[in-house]
Amino acid sequence: MNEERLQFWSLYLSRFATGFGYSTLALLIPFYIEVLNASDFMGGLFITGFTLAQTIVVIPLAWAGDRYDKKKVLLAVLSVSVVAYVAFANVQPIGDAVAVAAASMFGIELATSFADSTAFIGVRALQGAAVTGSGLMTLSLVGELADHGERANAIGKANSVRFLASILGMIIAGGLYQVVGFTPIYTVIVVSFALGLAGVWLYLPADETRSYGNPFSGLALNKRIITLTSFRAQYAVAVTVVRSWVAIYAGVSAARGGLAYAGLAVAFVLVAEKLTNMLCQPFTGRLSDGYGRSLFVFAGGGAYGLVALAVPFTPAIGTAVGLPGSYELIVPSLLSDLTGVGAGYSLLGKLGPAFVPLLVINGLLGVVDAFREPASMALFADEGADEGGIAASFGIRELVWRPGSVLGPMMAGWLWSRYGIETVFYVGGAFAVTGAITFAVVLTHFHGRGALTEW
């Protein structure tokens, strides 16, 4: 393997570790909601704690990446990731410490569920900071290493590696959780980060590019950035809410509006989106390089919203096509004896008519988003390269995402508690559709009718 490939694959390995950890928590959140006895609104804060921390760290980390050595910044955030996942394995002892601190310092006696949930939100915040730093640095370095005409393709490959990690993370986490619970899962995650740290340390050369001053100031008023922002600010609400609540919808109890599927069943639902996205992105990235990236942003974003509206109808769809009301996948006795899970073990738990339609619809969400994501990233990378601050450009991209990703889950938690879980998908889908329409209007206004195919 030549030197250039080693550089790219060291970055892909880091994205693999980050995606592995992130997807594992995405899968486990509905089970944490149940185990920690969190309220519907607190369940929304499990998402908001993560995204709020991302919002806070975007500008400092993007500035540090352009001003200093991106390799060192990446090594630092990968190390913080290790700390975060060790903390997840000990969230209930941390919750006990929170309760003791509240009692001794403020004289407040916290309920166990509230203290544990607060601890979980705090660790999620630490994870959010690390995930943002890793994403910014790896994408910035990939953008710098790739040639202009191949950026979307290179970014698509990087994202495909992340999606592969997400798939493995969800399947491993779903399978292990059913058998051994939370803690052993984090051992696997920490090992993956150790490998990522080693790859960056050994193979990635020092980053010698430097951008002085404030690269955000020039990029913030860039007309193309403003045009992309008109879409991305709204789309952030849609994606954050829909992705998070697909897992919650599949995993929480029926009493809370969910389907109450077992961990591995939820994993397969979430993997469907990651798998289709992973398989499509290298292809759609090449297409957007050749046929116009803004067209792919518009079409992919609008289609995402329309598909998301179908999620609450999956039970009715399954019933309409004749799927059984209840069925199980029983492990054969020979395998159950070998694995020690016991006779009659149900691999996916009890499934209902919604399972297959939800699997298909979530997979379709991955397909349509694969048209948008590499095109959007490449447009931001183009502007950053022209202005001398790729990390700052990706920082603006992240920053624009943050208000929606912070407020969206809070809104969704409130909607869930007040009007039912299905309203979360209606509102989330609507944000994607209006974002695509706004993007088309602003794009035409600033850049002319031909801009959809010219960018």
What are the tens digits of pLDDT across the range 315-338?
A: 999 999 999 888 777 655 555 555
* DSSP state letters, 120-173: HHHHHHHHHHHHHHHHHHHHHHHHHHS-GGGHHHHHHHHHHHHHHHHHHHHHHH
Measured between its terminal Cα atoms, the distance across the chain in Å is: 34
Q: What are phi and psi of 100, to 5 degrees?
A: -65, -45
Instruction: Judge whether residue 343 has pLDDT over 60.
Output: no
Q: Which two tokens stand for residue 85?
A: 């996942």
Q: How confident is the model at residue 430 (pLDDT cuts 50, 70, 90)?
A: very high
Q: Which among 234, 233, 258 has a CA at the least distance from the CA of 248? A: 258
More confident residue, 215 or 54: 54
Collapsing DSSP to helix, strand or coil, 187 comes out as: helix
Q: How far apart are CA 301 and CA 51, in angstroms?
A: 21
Domain boundaries in the chain? Answer: 3-454
Q: What is the pLDDT of residue 304?
A: 98
The model's pLDDT over 113-172, given as tens digits with 9 standing for 90+, comes to 999 999 999 999 999 999 999 988 888 888 777 766 666 677 777 777 877 888 888 888
Q: How far is CA 9 from the centre of its chain?
A: 21
Q: What angle do CA 363, 314, 349 make, to 5 degrees?
A: 80
Residue-level pLDDT at 151:
66
Question: What is the per-residue pLDDT for 231?
Answer: 92
131 contacts 231 by C-beta, under 8 angstroms = no
Range in 15-19, 328-332, 451-455 with the lowest mean pLDDT: 328-332
Residues 113-126 as b/e (b if ≥16 CB within 10 A, e otherwise) read ebbbbbbbbbbbbb
pLDDT for 61 equals: 87
Q: What one-letter code names the amino acid at 416?
A: W
Q: What does the alpha-carbon distance between residue 449 and residue 254 come to, in Å, rounded to a whole number? A: 48
Share of the chain above pLDDT 70, in %: 88
Greatest extent of the chain over all pairs of C-alpha atoms, in Å: 67
Q: Which long-range contacts (CB under 8 A, 24 or more apart) does 91-95 make?
A: 91/116, 91/119, 91/120, 91/123, 92/116, 92/119, 94/119, 94/122, 94/123, 95/119, 95/120
pLDDT for 199 equals 83
Q: How confident is the model at residue 360 (pLDDT cuts 50, 70, 90)?
A: very high
Position 333 scores a pLDDT of 57
- Segment 423-436 shows an average pLDDT of 98
What is the C-alpha separation between 86 and 78, in angstroms, rounded? 13
Residues 124, 447: Cα–Cα separation, whole Å:
40
Q: How far is Cα 231 from Cα 404, in angstroms, rounded to an integer?
A: 11
Q: Over the chain, what is the mean pLDDT?
A: 85
Q: What is the mean pLDDT of residues 87-95?
A: 93
Q: Which fold has domain 3-454?
A: Growth Hormone; Chain: A; (1.20.1250)
pLDDT tens profile 215-255 = 556 566 677 788 888 899 999 999 999 999 999 999 998 88
Q: What is the pLDDT of residue 220?
A: 60
Could you tell me the sign of the dihedral formed by the alpha carbons of 232, 237, 241, 244, in that order? positive
For residues 391 and 215, what is the distance between their CA atoms, to the nearest angstrom?
Answer: 9
